[in-house]
Amino acid sequence: MINEIDQALLEKIAGLVGKPVDALNIRKDGGCEARQSTEHIKIDPRTDGREGIDIRILDGTKGEKCYIPVVIGKSGYAETVYNDFYIGENCDVEIVAGCGIHNSGCDEARHDGVHTFHVGKNSHVRYAEKHYGEGSGEGTNIMNPQTVVYLEEGASIQMETVQIRGIDSTKRYTKIVCGKGAEALITERLLTHGRQLAESDMEILLDGEDSKGRVISRSVAQDESRQVFRPIVVGNDKCFGHVQCDSIIMGSAKIESVPAITANSTEAQLIHEAAIGKIAGDQLLKLQTLGLTEEEAEDRILKGFLA
């Protein structure tokens, strides 16, 4: 049963208000709270004994959405879920995932999601995944997402990953394999505070001729939190790759950014950039002259940076 707390979480992580007409699978505390397929998008439970679902999107499906959010409201609960996506050829679809935890106990609440995408020729996928944690207890909220994507010829994926607040520990692993003419764009936005830890390992393999890969990572580390980024782009053919990591560090936080590029072809063109710094004093001063307090000015800058 979806309660008011669950509904608020679903709105935060997936923008869900009420029940959409789109394909849908809502998972709560290890069970399925809602599931619906459409004419072109089929959602079925796995048959290999693992927890999770198979999502099959038929050839030529365009303009449709699929929602697969997860909510956890139990302290002392942990799960590993495997979701596989089989996207046909010539599709143009949007998939909205995300996980919200409400932990009011003193034990750990944990969700590990393993997503594997098989994207057919000339298909385009937009994938959004938001993570958020809350609760009045002292238990920790942990999420460890893994996403592996295989792009066939001419396929593309735009992946947006967001960690809003309240996740004490996260270890994210992302791998994308690009075929001929395929394109991958990963946009990561992350905020850590308190003593939180966030690690992110990304690998884009540009295997096909004229493939493209880009990583844009923006993060803010506050208080005593710690962040580690390891984005890697490997060019194995004529290709283009770009890695950009920008971070704002505050308080006693620590940030480690280790972008890497590897060229295994003379036709590979690869670039990486990384920058870590504090909020510029002149930015704060300018906003304060417009009537904002220092705290309000700082908040405005951070929201703009992570937008």
pLDDT digits (tens, 9 = 90+) for 150-174: 999 999 999 999 997 899 999 999 9
Average of pLDDT values for 197-207?
Answer: 97
Instruction: Report whether 78 contacts 108 (CB < 8 A).
Output: yes
- Residue 127 parent element (H or E): strand 124-134
Tens digit of each residue's pLDDT (9 = 90 or more) over 117-163: 999 999 999 999 999 999 988 899 999 999 999 999 999 999 999 99
Mean pLDDT of 225-233: 96
Which pair of tokens denotes residue 282? 């002149």
d(Cα 150, Cα 179) in Å, to the nearest integer? Answer: 8
**Would you list the domain boundaries of the chain?**
4-280
Q: What is the pLDDT of residue 26?
A: 96
Taking the whole predicted model, whether its pTM rises above 0.85 is answered as yes
Q: Is the pLDDT of residue 251 over 80?
A: yes
Specify whether the CB–CB gap between 74 and 102 falls below 8 A: no
Mean pLDDT: which of 136-145, 172-181, 279-288, 296-305 is highest? 172-181
- pLDDT of amino acid 301: 84
Of 50, 164, 64, the closest CA to residue 113 belongs to 50
- Residue-wise pLDDT for 25-35, tens only, equals 999 999 999 99
8 A C-beta contact, residue 176 and residue 185: no
Which of 51-60, 198-207, 241-250, 292-301 shows the lowest per-residue confidence on average (mean pLDDT)? Answer: 292-301
Q: What dihedral angle (degrees, nearest 10) is formed by the CA atoms of 181, 258, 144, 132?
A: -90
Q: Output Rg (C-alpha) for the chain, integer angstroms.
A: 20
* Residue 20 pLDDT level (bands cut at 50, 70, 90): confident
- CA–CA separation, 228 and 245 (whole Å): 11
Which pLDDT score, from 0 to 100, does residue 69 have? 97
How confident is the prediction for the chain on average, in pLDDT?
Answer: 94
pLDDT at 14: 95
Q: Confirm if 69 and 13 have CB atoms less than 8 A apart.
A: yes
Q: What would the DSSP string read from start to end of 195-245?
A: T-EEEEEEEEEE-STTEEEEEEEEEEE-TT-EEEEEEEEEE-SSEEEEEEE
